[in-house]
């Protein structure tokens, strides 16, 4: 599996009007290549969401780990909502990490 582009992801103006670039700032790379464009978006809101993706994934993984510590308690109990949250977190993490046939563009 290909790993994500490392570094902090930031929103910057794109090459064209009304375009926003999501840029990864890479540490320890020569100045000419210290920024890598990860995505180009037509709205600033989409660019902010893309730029937040690495942090959102990390926080989903932390929440999934925390909820999974008591997973056996959730089935058929008052904590059924926690089980549903755990299922949703796992689906979101998988969607971010495992290429789905419909997500892969040739």
Task: Identify whether the C-beta of residue 25 lies closer than 8 Å to the C-beta of residue 51.
Answer: no
Say whether 23 sits in a helix, a strand or coil. strand
Helix or strand run (H / E) with residue 44: helix 44-68
Helix or strand run (H / E) with residue 35: strand 35-41
**DSSP 8-state assignment for residue 38:** E
Domain edges within the chain: 8-97
Q: pLDDT digits over 24-65, tens only?
A: 877 665 555 567 788 889 888 999 999 999 889 999 999 999
Q: pLDDT digits over 70-93, tens only?
A: 877 766 666 678 888 899 999 999
């Amino acid at each position: 599996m290909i790993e994500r582009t490392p570094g902090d992801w930031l929103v910057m103006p794109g090459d064209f009007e009304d375009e926003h670039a999501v840029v990864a700032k890479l540490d320890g790379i020569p100045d000419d290549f210290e920024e890598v464009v990860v995505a180009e978006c037509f709205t600033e809101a989409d660019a902010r969401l893309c730029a937040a993706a690495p942090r959102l994934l990390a926080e989903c993984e932390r929440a999934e780990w925390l909820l999974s510590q008591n997973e056996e308690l959730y089935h058929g109990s008052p904590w059924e909502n926690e089980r549903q949250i755990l299922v949703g977190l796992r689906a979101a993490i998988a969607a971010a990490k495992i290429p789905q046939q419909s997500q892969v563009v040739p």
